[in-house]
Amino acid sequence: MQAETQLWLIRHAPVEGPRGVIHAADAPADLGDAAAFAALRARLPAGAFAVCSPARRTRETAARLGLDAVEDEAFREQDFGDWTGRRHSELEAELGAAYRGFWNAPGSNRPPGGESFADQITRARAGLARLPAGDAVLVVHSGTIRAILAIALDLAPETALRFVIDPLSLTRIDRLADAWRVVAVNGR
């Protein structure tokens, strides 16, 4: 491991759009909760290195927090391939047992044309390796935060998917010289 890094993991603001949809990268964020943004901004370290995924909702959230974030593909949400832009209810109605079968092992199964959560963990690990020592604020997705928790806690993909990560929540993890320390998960 590298020198100590304090990770400030923020899930983006809620998506401005319908619920129950696997949103594409261009889905906008709902930036209307001024109180939540102010409270979150007050908790962040000044002068921290900031990163976001290339998704519009993470870029908008980072900007609303006053962060000059660098985009990094390693921290994008899991790619749901052909299912992106579709409603879960529509997919279940159309695909039936095949769709439900995906959720029997969501950590290792891949949607058509997409990637598994295990693939996302591998990608996130590569991104973490590039982060500098010191404070790093990452404005990312619930799946990305779960992937980083899987890495920090040495969890199987299915186990890491049990974490609830709310919009505009803060998860704090320290990458130490030879270990990890989880400070807080899903703080509001």
Q: What is the CATH number of the domain that holds 170?
A: 3.40.50.1240
What pTM was estimated for this model as a whole? 0.96
Report whether pLDDT(57) > 90. Answer: yes
Report whether pLDDT(66) > 90. Answer: yes
Report pLDDT digits (tens) over 13-42: 999 989 999 999 999 999 999 999 999 999
Report whether pLDDT(97) > 80. Answer: yes
Token look-up 């899987």 returns 150
Q: How many domains does the chain have?
A: 1
Model confidence at 107, pLDDT cuts 50, 70, 90, reads very high
**Average pLDDT rounded to a whole number, residues 68-96:** 97
pLDDT value, residue 180: 97
Domain span holding position 79:
5-187
**Average pLDDT rounded to a whole number, residues 47-66:** 98
Q: What tokens were used for 161?
A: 């998917």
Task: Give the percent of the chain with pLDDT over 70.
Answer: 99
pLDDT value, residue 1: 44
Report pLDDT digits (tens) over 144-165: 999 999 999 999 999 999 999 9
**Average pLDDT rounded to a whole number, residues 59-67:** 98
Burial of 117 (0-12, 13-18, 19+ CB in 10 A): buried
pLDDT value, residue 2: 58
